[in-house]
Amino acid sequence: MERDSQLKLYGQVADRLKEAHAKVRALQVPESVRMALTRKLLVVTAAAKHDLPDAARRLDRLMKDLDEGRFPEGD
């Protein structure tokens, strides 16, 4: 049963990562900001390999920031 819930969460995180990447690509922001957001997405992707619930929480925070127009500073 736990495996089923883990697989469901994995599918949800994968779908949301795909959505997040599309949002980042569509943003009209400087390239440095886009790169910073892409790095954050890569961190979430890496986290999903080791701690899926933590990756889901990180992705939720990142999506909320994107929705509210809060972007990281570019380098």
List, for residues 39-75, the tens digit of each pLDDT value.
999 999 999 999 999 999 999 999 999 999 999 886 5
* CB neighbour class for 28 (10 Å; exposed up to 12, middle 13-18, buried from 19): exposed
- The pTM assigned to this predicted structure is 0.84
Contact of 31 with 73, CB cutoff 8 Å:
no
Q: What is the pLDDT of residue 73?
A: 80
Q: What is the pLDDT of residue 52?
A: 92
pLDDT digits (tens, 9 = 90+) for 8-29: 989 999 999 999 999 999 999 9
Q: What is the rounded end-to-end Cα distance, in angstroms, of the chain?
A: 45
Q: What is the pLDDT of residue 1?
A: 55
